[in-house]
C-alpha cells in the first residue's frame, strides 16, 4: 500500500492573492492542515470556511480545537456571497482564508445568470483588496475546474501524488464525477427515487452496496451518472463532497492477462487504491454478473472471490448493475456475493415519461448533430420505437431512434428533423 504524500510542494509559499488547490486522490482535511501550516509559517492568521460551519479561525490543524479570539470572525457565514462580501469589506491584514469546496459556487450550473455574474465580479475585485492587506484566499477543490472568466487570476496547485496513487483506477476506470464537472455527461431526467435509494443504501453501515436491476436500455447507467451529478452539484450533505464515482471497465482489466494470477493482481491493486482513499471512492460495475468466473484459472481464485472479503469488510464501496435475468441466473445463486448487495429495481418508463426524457436531452443531440428536432419528431421517435422495437426497452430504444434520425439529417444537411424524416430513416434500417 502506498503511503499518502503531501499535496502541496514543500517549498510552496503563498505569494499570489488567489489560489486553488486540488485534493483529488487525497483527503481535504490533510490539505487544510498543510495550508494552515503554510499560513502560520508566514505569520498569517488561518481562517477556514466550510459549508457546515461557516467562517472560523482555526488552530494549528483542522483537527485541533477552534480558537475564537476575534468576535468579528466567530460569526457563522453559510452563504458564499456573505463570505466573500465579508472578506472584502473586513480588509483584515495578514489573513489566510481557506475555503473548502467553495468551487461549487463558481459554477453556472449552480447559480442563476445574474448571481454568477455578480460572483465572478466579486472574485475579480478581491484580487487587489487582498494584495493590499497582505492577505490570501485559497479554494480547496477535488478538481481544478474554474470558469474561464477567473481561471487566469488563480494560482493552481495540483495533487502531485495522483498519478502514482491512482495507477489502477486511472488505467481501468472512468471518473464519472469528473465527467459531470466537464459537462460531458448528458443530464438525467427524473429517476430521483432511484438516486435517493442508492444514497440511502450507500449510507448504511451494512449491506451498503446498491445493485441496480433492470432490463437493458432502461437507464441503469444514467442513474449512476445522476448520482455523480448529485454529489458534484452540492445537492446533499457536504460530507459527500469528497466522494467520486469511478466506472470500472472489466474487459479492459482482463485484457492482456496471460498468466495465472495476473488479473487478480490488478484487481487487488485496485482494491488497495480504493481502500487507501477512506471510502471516498465508489466503484460502479456495469454488467456485474460478468465478474463470476472472470480471471479464474487453475490455481487462482477469480474476481468474485477477491471481491467478497473486501465487500464484507466495507472496504470496497460498489454499485453494480445487471439485468433481471442475469441476476437470477448468476448473482442470486451465489449467496455470499448476493447478500453484499441491496437491490434497486429499475423499471422501464412508459411512453409519456420517455417523451419527457427525450425533451430533457434533445438539446445535447441537437448540439452534437447541429440540427433541430421538432416536438412532433420526438413524439414519433417514441411511437415508432414502441410499435416496432418490441425486444428493446424505453428510454434506450427511443433515444436510439432519435440519434439515428439526427445523424442522417446531419449527413445530408437537413436542418430540422421532422416526424416524416424519422419514419423514412427508420424504414430504411428495417
Same domain, 127 and 268: no
Q: Are residues 248 and 129 in the same domain?
A: no
**Is the same domain home to 308 and 388?**
no
Q: Is a pLDDT exceeding 60 seen at residue 172? A: yes
Q: pLDDT band for 163, please (50, 70, 90 cuts).
A: very low
Give a yes or no: residue 13 inside a domain: no
Same domain, 43 and 153: yes
pLDDT band at 260 (very low <50, low <70, confident <90, very high): low
Whether residues 359 and 332 share a domain: the answer is no
183 lies in the same domain as 291: yes
**Residue 162 confidence (pLDDT):** 40
**Helices 262-276 and 303-312, interaxial angle, to 10°?**
20
Question: Grid coordinates in use for 113?
Answer: 445568470
Inform me whether the pLDDT recorded for 246 exceeds 60: yes
Cβ-based burial of 394 (10 A; exposed 0-12, middle 13-18, buried ≥19) = buried
d(CA 178, CA 142): 9
356 shares a domain with 340: no
User: Which tops the pLDDT comparison, 98 or 262?
Assistant: 98
Helix (H) or strand (E) holding 198: helix 192-203
- How many helices (H) and strands (E) are present in the chain, helices listed first? 17, 14
Question: How far is 102 from 374, CA to CA, in rounded Å?
Answer: 40
CATH classification of the domain holding 22: 3.40.50
Alpha-carbon dihedral of residues 92, 97, 101, 107, nearest 10 degrees? 50
Q: Are residues 195 and 337 in the same domain?
A: yes
Identify whether 198 is part of a domain. yes
Does a structural domain hold residue 365? Answer: yes
In a domain, 177, yes or no: yes
Q: Is 397 helix (H, G, I), strand (E, B) or coil?
A: helix
Cα(20)–Cα(145) distance, rounded to whole angstroms?
A: 9
Report the C-alpha gap between 191 and 226 in whole angstroms: 8
Per-residue confidence at 430, pLDDT binned at 50, 70, 90? low
181 vs 90, residue with greater confidence: 90
Between 212 and 71, whose confidence is greater? 212
Which pLDDT score, from 0 to 100, does residue 24 have?
62
Grouping H, G, I as helix, E, B as strand and the rest as coil, residue 188 is coil
* CATH number of the domain to which 358 belongs: 1.10.8.60
Last residue of a domain, one of 345, 360, 381: 345
**Using H for helix, E for strand and C for coil, what is the string for 18-83?**
EEEEECCCCCHHHHHHHHHHHHHHCCCEEEEEECCCEEEECCCCCCCCCCCCCHHHCCCCCCHHHH
The pLDDT tens digits of the residues spanning 402-427 come to 999 999 999 999 999 999 999 999 98
Residue 53: CB atoms within 10 A of its CB come to 14
In this predicted model, what pLDDT tens digit does every residue of 348-394 receive, in sequence order? 999 999 999 999 999 999 999 999 999 999 999 999 999 999 999 99
Give CA angle at 354 (347, 348), nearest 5°: 15
Length of the chain: 430
Whether residue 172 sits in one domain with residue 156: no
Judge if 193 and 122 occupy the same domain: no
Mean pLDDT, residues 185-189 taken together: 88
The answer to whether the predicted template modeling score (pTM) of the entire model surpasses 0.85 is: no
Residues 418 and 316 in one domain: no
Residue 112 Cα to chain centre, angstroms: 22
> Which pLDDT value is given to residue 62?
43
Say if residue 49's pLDDT is above 90. no
Q: Which of 345, 369, 384 is the last residue of a domain?
A: 345
Pair 339, 387 in one domain: no
Grid cell locating 36: 494552515
Q: What is the pLDDT of residue 321?
A: 98
Question: Is position 1 within any domain?
Answer: no
Domain that holds residue 389: 351-429
**C-beta of residue 188 within 8 angstroms of C-beta of residue 217:** no
Per-residue confidence at 183, pLDDT binned at 50, 70, 90?
confident
8 A C-beta contact, residue 313 and residue 274: no
112 found inside a domain: yes
Cα atoms in the Cβ-side hemisphere of radius 13 Å centred on 284:
23
Which of 102, 129, 160 is the C-terminal boundary of a domain?
A: 160
Q: How many domains does the chain have?
A: 3
pLDDT band at 159 (very low <50, low <70, confident <90, very high): low
Query: Please, which pLDDT band fits residue 234 given cuts at 50, 70 and 90?
Result: low
Residue 135 maps to a domain: yes
**And the C-alpha cell for 291?**
465478474
What share of the chain in percent tops pLDDT 70? 82
96: pLDDT strictly greater than 70: yes
Greater model confidence, 70 or 18: 18
Q: What is the DSSP letter of 133?
A: T
pLDDT of residue 141: 78
The CA-based angle 184-7-266, given to 5 degrees, is: 65
pLDDT tens digit sequence for 22-35: 776 556 777 888 89
Question: Which pLDDT band holds residue 293 (cuts at 50, 70, 90)?
Answer: low
Return the CATH number at 247: 3.40.50.300
Amino acid at each position: 500500500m502506498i503511503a499518502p504524500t503531501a499535496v502541496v510542494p514543500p517549498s510552496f509559499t503563498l505569494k499570489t492573492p488567489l489560489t486553488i488547490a486540488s485534493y483529488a486522490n487525497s483527503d481535504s482535511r490533510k490539505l487544510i492542515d498543510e495550508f494552515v501550516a503554510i499560513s502560520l509559517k508566514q505569520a498569517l492568521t488561518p481562517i477556514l470556511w466550510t459549508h457546515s460551519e461557516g467562517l472560523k479561525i482555526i488552530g494549528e490543524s483542522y483537527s485541533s480545537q477552534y480558537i475564537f479570539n476575534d468576535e468579528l470572525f466567530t460569526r457563522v457565514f453559510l452563504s458564499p456571497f456573505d463570505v466573500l462580501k465579508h472578506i472584502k469589506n473586513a480588509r483584515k491584514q495578514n489573513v489566510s482564508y481557506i475555503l473548502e469546496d467553495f468551487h461549487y459556487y463558481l459554477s453556472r450550473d449552480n447559480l442563476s445568470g445574474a448571481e454568477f455574474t455578480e460572483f465572478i465580479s466579486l472574485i475579480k475585485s478581491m484580487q487587489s483588496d487582498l494584495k493590499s492587506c497582505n492577505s490570501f484566499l485559497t479554494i480547496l477543490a477535488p478538481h481544478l475546474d474554474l470558469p474561464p472568466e477567473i481561471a487566469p487570476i488563480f494560482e493552481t496547485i495540483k495533487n502531485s501524488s495522483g498519478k502514482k496513487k491512482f495507477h489502477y483506477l486511472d488505467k481501468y476506470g472512468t471518473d464519472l464525477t469528473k465527467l459531470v464537472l466537464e459537462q460531458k455527461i448528458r443530464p438525467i431526467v427524473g429517476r430521483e427515487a432511484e438516486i435517493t435509494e442508492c444514497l440511502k443504501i450507500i449510507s448504511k453501515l451494512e449491506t451498503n452496496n446498491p445493485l441496480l436491476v433492470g432490463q437493458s436500455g432502461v437507464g441503469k447507467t444514467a442513474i449512476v451518472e445522476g448520482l455523480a451529478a448529485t454529489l458534484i452539484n452540492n445537492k446533499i450533505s457536504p460530507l459527500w463532497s469528497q466522494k467520486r464515482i469511478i466506472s470500472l471497465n472489466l474487459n479492459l482489466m482482463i485484457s492482456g492477462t496471460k498468466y495465472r494470477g495476473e488479473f487478480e493482481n490488478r484487481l487487488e491493486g485496485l482494491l488497495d487504491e480504493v481502500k487507501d482513499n477512506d471510502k471516498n471512492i465508489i466503484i460502479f460495475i456495469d454488467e456485474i454478473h460478468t465478474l463470476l468466473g472472470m480471471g479464474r484459472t487453475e490455481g487462482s481464485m477469480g474476481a468474485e472471490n477477491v471481491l467478497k472479503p473486501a465487500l464484507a469488510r466495507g472496504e470496497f464501496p460498489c454499485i453494480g448493475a445487471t439485468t433481471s435475468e442475469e441476476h437470477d441466473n448468476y448473482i442470486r445463486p451465489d449467496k455470499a456475493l448476493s447478500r453484499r448487495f441491496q437491490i434497486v429495481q429499475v423499471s422501464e418508463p412508459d411512453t409519456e415519461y420517455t417523451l419527457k426524457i427525450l425533451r430533457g436531452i434533445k438539446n445535447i443531440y441537437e448540439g452534437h448533430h447541429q440540427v433541430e428536432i421538432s416536438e412532433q419528431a420526438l413524439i414519433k421517435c417514441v411511437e415508432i420505437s414502441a410499435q416496432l422495437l418490441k425486444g428493446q426497452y424505453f428510454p434506450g430504444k427511443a433515444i436510439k431512434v432519435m440519434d439515428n434520425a439526427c445523424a442522417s439529417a446531419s449527413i445530408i444537411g437537413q436542418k430540422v428533423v421532422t416526424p416524416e424524416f424519422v419514419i423514412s430513416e427508420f424504414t430504411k434500417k428495417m
